[in-house]
Amino acid sequence: MNALALVSQLGGVVLAVALAPLLAGWVAQCRAWLQNRSAPPLLLPYRTLRKLFRKDAALATQASPLFRAAPYAVFGAMATAAAIIPSVTTDLPLARVADAIALVGLFATARVFIALAAMDIGTVFGSMGARREMMIGFLAEPALLMVLFNAFLMFGSTALPTIVKGTLDADGLTLHPSLAFAGVAFVMVLLAENARIPIDNPGTHLEVTMIHESMVLEYSARHLALIEWASWLKLFNYACIGFTLFVPWGIAPHTTGPLGLLLAIVWLLAKLAVAGAVLAVIETVSAKLRIFRAPEFLSMAFLLAVLGLLVHLLLQS
């Protein structure tokens, strides 16, 4: 492992952790503009984190060590996932030992911790949110794996940097019909996994309908800050997975120097701006589904991903 690779690896994680709240603030601004409302400040998520880290944590008397450790575990899992995803460069030493299947495992680990912590206190809303979260994860993870398998079959590898290199080494812009189905399925999974409309509404506190918020009602101060930061980082990670699979142009190869890395960061910011605006448009024109319709939504995502897989196999035969 050379020094530049180590710097790229650590820098990628720091950049992801730093930009995740900015992406959340940008999406909130775009939603407000589209709904003809006064937009919140772009840096509001950073102010929220600063405010929460300065407060003293209040814990329930029956909270176990699991409840206290869950925010750190969730945030650590999301930060580790960011180290596997080539958001800026493909020169990621950690990606050589942890592929995209391990990435799905990290998302599942974070989900299990937050669900167990929600049930640890024994509140009605926490347990309800945990059950709903596990149901959505049970349906979303197979769809995500099917989306990833489309890329795995095309490039013969489960490592995301290899997929990026395969796309960049191709002559010109190659259109794969199977990726059209996979792309739609991936957007549906992204909405479900990140508690966005139409599955969940991140801006509501109505206990009967919310999923993610009901699991974190008992958290405060630094614990709540880590949970919120991890949720923003998860959205950032999913956006970067989409860039890796469908629009990898702009990601620097391992031979690029500091100037190339700086250009790759500019490309990343531009793609995040577009992705955030598109996400805001989707949430503005969509209505929240009833919780009983969520399985239908995610089943459709799974079927679209499988259809993309079949199209690829038929075209290759």
Structural domain containing residue 194? 3-316
DSSP annotation of 289: P
Structure tokens given for 78: 């999301």
Tokens of 115: 């669900």
pLDDT 10s digit of each residue in the chain, 317 long? 566 677 778 888 999 999 999 999 999 999 999 989 998 999 999 999 999 999 988 888 788 889 999 999 999 999 999 989 988 888 787 776 677 888 899 999 999 999 999 888 888 888 888 888 899 989 999 999 999 998 888 888 888 888 888 777 665 555 678 888 999 999 999 999 998 888 887 766 665 567 778 888 889 899 999 999 999 999 999 999 999 989 888 888 765 677 878 898 999 999 999 999 999 999 999 888 888 888 999 999 999 999 988 988 888 76
Q: How far is CA 56 from the centre of its chain?
A: 29
User: Which among 242, 289, 20, 281 is positioned nearest to 136, based on CA atoms?
Assistant: 289
Q: Chain centroid to CA 60: how far? A: 30
pLDDT of residue 168: 72
Whose tokens are 């603030």? That residue is 25
Find out whether 129 and 218 touch, Cβ atoms under 8 Å. no
Q: What is the pLDDT of residue 108?
A: 93
Q: In the chain, how many domains are there? A: 1
SS3 assignment, position 217? coil
Rounded to 5°, angle at Cα 100 from 271 and 258? 50
Instruction: Write phi, then psi, for 172 (nearest 5 degrees).
Output: 75, -165
Q: In Å, what is the CA distance from 119 to each residue of 30, 64, 100?
A: 34, 11, 29
- Distance set, CA 175 to CA 20, 145, 251, 313, 314 (Å): 30, 21, 19, 15, 16
Q: Would you state the pLDDT for residue 235?
A: 95
Cβ neighbours around 37 below 10 Å, total: 9
